[in-house]
Amino acid sequence: MATYIILSRLSAEAVRDPSEFPKLAEQVSAKLKENCPNVEWKQSYATLGRFDVVDIVEAPTVSEVEKAAMIIRSYGHAITQTMLATPWKDFLKSLRD
C-alpha cells in the first residue's frame, strides 16, 4: 500500500463555534469509514499555519484516496491537498538502482 499525506484547511463555514468541531470530526470520520474501508488512517495532526489538519493514510489505489479527500472536502467543509509520500529509505534506494 502507498502512503499519502492529506493536508486540510477548514473553511470558515465548517463550524460556528470551536466546541462544535468534535461532532463534525466524528461525522466525517463515520463517512470515511463507511465509504473508504480500504483507506487506513495512520496518524492525524492538528497543525498551526497554512493547513489545519494533516492526515497520514495508506491506500492500495490513488482513487480510494481521491474519494477520501472528496469526502473531507464536502462533509468537512475543507480544502485539501493530497501528496504521495515515499519513505526516505525507499527514495534513496530508487536513486541507487
* Domain CATH code at residue 76: 3.30.70.920
Residue 14 has pLDDT above 90, yes or no: no
Averaged pLDDT, 53-69? 97
pLDDT value of residue 97: 82
Averaged pLDDT, 71-94? 95
Average model confidence (pLDDT) across the chain: 95
Domain of residue 90 covers: 2-96
CA distances from 35 to 7, 29, 38, 45, 49 (A): 19, 10, 9, 22, 29
Averaged pLDDT, 18-27? 91
Averaged pLDDT, 65-83? 96
Q: pTM above 0.85?
A: yes
Residue 51 grid coordinates? 493547513
CA distances from 33 to 38, 65, 97 (A): 9, 12, 38
Residue 3 has pLDDT above 90, yes or no: yes
- Structural domain count of the chain: 1
